[in-house]
Homo-oligomer: A and B are copies of this chain.
């Protein structure tokens, strides 16, 4: 696909070939992302960071990505610059922002906002998370992290762990992993297991997902532990939350059972899901994963803006 001028609203809009194209370019972006070499590929271009709710990592990594490409960012972040208090609609805001920028990165609390924005904007819109909807750049950087680590995604055994019911990004990730031939396992307490709809979607894509509530059942086999936060608010009883959170906490005791080259991923920020003692082990990959947001977002920006290295 020729990405120039395209919106990036949902990972489902991208074919396997499209994703490979992004990840291949992201690979080339690594030394630029690290600040080892420099480019002015997007000199003169402006990215509008339109964040209706905070999202530190996504926000900063888009800014960094644009800067590393020689472009500028304009901040329109919650709550500092918002006219919304005066009652402006999202579509009016978008039609203003498109006048002031070359690409719009949108974070919004409501599902479907990115699709709406993309419809009204003549400039490319990149969805940086819209409520319970999609967060395609997170999925891309997750795929990129696994691909970089194992030199492939096919046949890699990935356990998605934690809140799989409400966790926005794990649904898209499960599908995307399956599309690339990974073997997915869903590890969650019964009340937070993967929704049926996603399980069926994975099966439709040819996957044979294993579902379990027991981490110890899968820890010896898997290559990737993709850990997500379990939110206190999901549990009416705090004691119940504490118990569950304890069971799914990743620590060195657990990791002694794991394959030597197992990697632990997490979209961050973490609270207690991964013990700090894991940080120093060779399993920890969540900080690398956070960094990978930069080259992946650089690749996307370069593609949708038609920049050349």
Contact = CB atoms under 8 A, between A and B. Distances in A.
Contacts of A291: 99-100
A276 B72 CA distance: 32
Given A46-B68, A99-B287, A269 B83 contact: yes
A85 interface: yes
A138 interface: no
Contacts of A148: none
Interface string A59-83: 1110110011010101111111111
A212 interface: no
Contacts of A97: 60
A74 B100 contact: no
User: Which of A77, A96, A268 has the most chain B CB within a 10 Å cutoff?
Assistant: A96
B35 A44 contact: yes
A92 B74 CA distance: 26
A268 B88 CA distance: 9
A100 B61 contact: yes
Contacts of A57: 83, 96
A290 B99 CA distance: 8
A82 B56 CA distance: 6
Contacts of A59: 81
A270 interface: yes
B38 A67 contact: no
B44 A60 contact: no
B81 A60 contact: yes
Give the top 7 A-B pairs by smallest Cβ distance, nearest first. Answer: A99-B291, A88-B269, A38-B44, A56-B83, A64-B100, A67-B72, A83-B269
Given A64-B74, A88-B269, A96-B268, 17 more contacts: A35-B44, A38-B44, A46-B64, A54-B82, A54-B85, A56-B83, A59-B81, A60-B74, A60-B96, A63-B74, A64-B100, A64-B101, A67-B74, A79-B80, A83-B268, A86-B271, A95-B287
